[in-house]
Amino acid sequence: MEGYKTFIQAMDDASDHCSVWTNLEDGSLCLYSELMEAAAFTDGLSPLPDDQWWMVLDDGAIGLLDETNEEVILMYTPVQSPPVIEKYTGDDLERKMQEFFTEPEREEENKADDAPAYCMYCGAKLPEGAAFCMKCGSPVRR
């Protein structure tokens, strides 16, 4: 088991084992590209507290471990699949992170109608313009 302070580092390691994971919170399947987008968004928000770590098990399972409460907050288990060959790296990853934190120009009345107020998977309140839920990492459906 390896521990990481960023979701992107954990994804890079886990993608050496597989390319599809199951989100244990809602049972949905997550592809590498979806989880890397969630990782870029999550890592861009703020650093993890000192007592939290992203962990990667030997089979490619990914979890967010809270050492204080001795619990796994979020868990993705590997689905039998080949490892990722083409990964987001360097400039591609930077570009992906920029996409999440740069809102496209939209008319103000359309902007409010587009974003749901709560995550359809876990029910957490979503910040305006979010592409992924900050609690469960699920993509925001429009």
102: amino acid identity, one letter: T
Measure the CA–CA gap between 96 and 35, rounded to whole angstroms: 12
DSSP string, 69-117: TTEEEEEEEEPS-PPPSS---HHHHHHHHHHHHSPPP--HHHHHHHS-S
Question: With b meaning 16 or more CB within 10 Å and e meaning fewer, what string describes 30-43?
Answer: bebebbbbbbbbbb
**Domain extent listing, the chain:** 2-104
Q: 59-115 pLDDT, tens per residue?
A: 999 999 998 878 888 899 999 999 998 887 767 777 766 766 565 555 444 545 555
CB 72 within 8 A of CB 54: no
- For the whole model, what pTM was predicted? 0.63
Those residues with Cβ within 8 angstroms of residue 35's Cβ, 6 or more apart along the chain or in another chain = 11, 21, 62, 76, 137
Q: 13-58 pLDDT, tens per residue?
A: 999 999 999 999 899 999 998 888 888 888 888 888 889 999 999 9
Measure the CA–CA gap between 90 and 104, rounded to whole angstroms: 23
Measure the CA–CA gap between 32 and 13, rounded to whole angstroms: 12
CB 117 within 8 A of CB 128: no
